[in-house]
Structure 1
């Protein structure tokens, strides 16, 4: 009987704790949601990447300078 009492006390404490936390709103996130960026395809390997991370060449855009060099392309003038 003594153990049943303590088990009941633990369950009531857990229930009260969960109930008190459920009413609180989560803290606002510090960074604002950004708009989706335009995705482009690497002319050498075909991988999709954000346009702001792309490396441009005379014949297209690439995911890295290594792929621009492998495609025998140069920097745009």
Structure 2
């Protein structure tokens, strides 16, 4: 009979510890994952394709995705 009582006490304590641990895990705010920063995009004046700002070629009429498109639109 004594072993049954000890077993029940251990079982109740284990159950309470598990409930406490789950509620603490749910209430802990999640850390934000490191998302890459967005980069600026511009559309090519000739074909409309979007390219990153640092890869775009500047012209007098706008931004271009390649030298060929800049030469085609600007004489």
> Normalising by the residue count of structure 2, what TM-score does the alignment of the two structures yield?
0.50
Whole-angstrom CA distance in 2 between matches of 1:42 and 1:62: 4
Q: 1:64: which partner in 2? A: 66
Counterpart of 1:52 (choices 35, 51, 54) is: 54
CA RMSD of aligned residues (A): 1.6
Q: Which has the higher helix share?
A: 2
Task: Kindly report structure 1 stretches of 4+ aligned residues shifted beyond 2 Å.
Answer: none
- Residue pair 2:61, 2:74 contacting (<8 A) in 1 also: no
Higher Cα Rg, which structure:
2
| Unaligned 5+ runs, structure 1 | 1-31
Aligned positions, number: 42
Aligned equivalents of 1:34 and 1:66: distance in 2? Answer: 31
Residue ranges of structure 2 left out of the alignment (5+ in a row): 1-33
